[in-house]
Amino acid sequence: MSSAIDSKSLGGAWTRQPWSLWGRQILAILRLEVRKNFLGKRAILIYLFALGPVLLMAAFAVLVKIEARLGLGEINEIFAQIYEGFILRTMVFFGCAWIFMNLFRGEVVDKSLHYYFLAPVRREVLVVGKYVSGVLTAGILFFCSTALSLFFVYLSFGYPQNIDYLEGAGLGQVLSYLSITLLASVGYGAFFLVIGLLFRNPIIPAGVAYGWEWLNFLLPPVLKKISVIHYLHSLAPVPVSEGPFAMLAEPTPAWISVPGLLLVTALALVLASLQIRRMQISYSGE
C-alpha cells in the first residue's frame, strides 16, 4: 500500500513540476557538456578557428601602422569584408559545424551516447541541454575572437582617433558585429545539430551547405532568403558589396531577420527532438 502511495505521489510531483525537473536536468547536462566542449579532445580545433581572425587582424594592424596610408573609412570597409568572408563564413560556419555536429555524432563515435539514453532524461531535454552547451561554447569563443579582432582594428586607427571613433559611430558597430556573431552561432548551431542527427557522415551535407552559403550572392532574391548568411548580411553595420555578378536583393530589415532566424532555430530544434525520439543506437561501422 505504501509503495502504491509513494508511486502516486511521485507521479503527481512529476505532473505538477515537470518544468522544474527539466530545468535541473538541462543544467546538469549543460555543466557536463560545456566542460567537455572546452576541455575535450576535440576542443583544440575550435581554439584554432577562434584564433585565426585575431592573428589576421593583429598582422593587419601592424601593417597599417607601418604603411600609415589608410583612413578610417577604408579600414572599416576592409574589416567588413574580412568579417563577412573570414569570420562569419569561415570561422563561425566551420566552428559551429565542428561543435554542433559532434554533440551527438561525437558521442556515437566515442560509443558513449547510450549512457545518456539509459539515464532517466527525456530525449528532448537532452537535445536542449546539448544545444545550449554548444551555443555557450561557440558564443563565448567566437564572441571573444570577434572582440579581439575589433580591438586590433581600432588599435590601427591610432590614438586619439580610435577613442573619438568609439565614442561616436564605432561603439554601435562593435555591438552590431558582436551581436551578429552570437546570432550566427545560434542559427548555424541549430542547423548543424540537425545535420549531426540525420546523417551518419555529416561532412557531405555540411559541404553542400557551405557551397550554398558562399554562392548565396549568385542566387535569385527568393532563394537568397533560404540561407543564414542572407539575414546576417542584412544586419551588417557596414554594407559589403557582393561583386559585379551578384543578384541584387533588398536587405531584410532587422525586425524580420532576427525573429526569423530565431523561429528557424526553434523549428530546427523541434526537428532534432523528433529525430532523436526515433534514434536507435548502433555503434557498428562507426
Contact 200, 168 (CB under 8 A): no
CA distances from 286 to 11, 94, 151, 176 (A): 39, 22, 43, 42
Contact 230, 216 (CB under 8 A): yes
Q: Give the tens place of pLDDT for each residue, 184-228.
A: 999 999 999 999 998 888 889 999 999 888 888 778 877 777 888
Among 235, 232, 195, 199, smallest CA distance to 213 is for: 232
Q: Give the tens place of pLDDT for each residue, 247-285.
A: 666 778 888 889 989 998 999 999 999 999 888 776 665
Residue 237 sits at φ, ψ, to 5 deg, of -70, -25
Question: Domain coordinates of the chain in residue numbers?
Answer: 32-278
Look at residue 5 and tell me whether its pLDDT is greater than 50.
no
Phi-psi region of 115 (alpha: psi -120 to 50; beta: other; left: phi over 0): alpha
For the entire predicted model, the pTM comes to 0.88
For residue 220, what are the contacts with CB-CB under 8 A and spacing of at least 6? 247, 249
Residue 28: is it exposed, middle or buried by C-beta count within 10 angstroms (0-12/13-18/19+)?
A: middle
Radius of gyration of the chain (CA): 22
Mean pLDDT of 168-176: 86
Sorting pLDDT into bands at 50, 70 and 90, what band is 10? very low
Q: Give the tens place of pLDDT for each residue, 30-75.
A: 999 999 999 988 899 999 999 999 999 999 888 877 666 667 778 8
Among 230, 200, 43, 278, smallest CA distance to 137 is for: 43
CA distances from 212 to 6, 40, 110, 154, 227 (A): 56, 31, 31, 32, 8
In this predicted structure, what is the pLDDT of residue 4?
A: 39
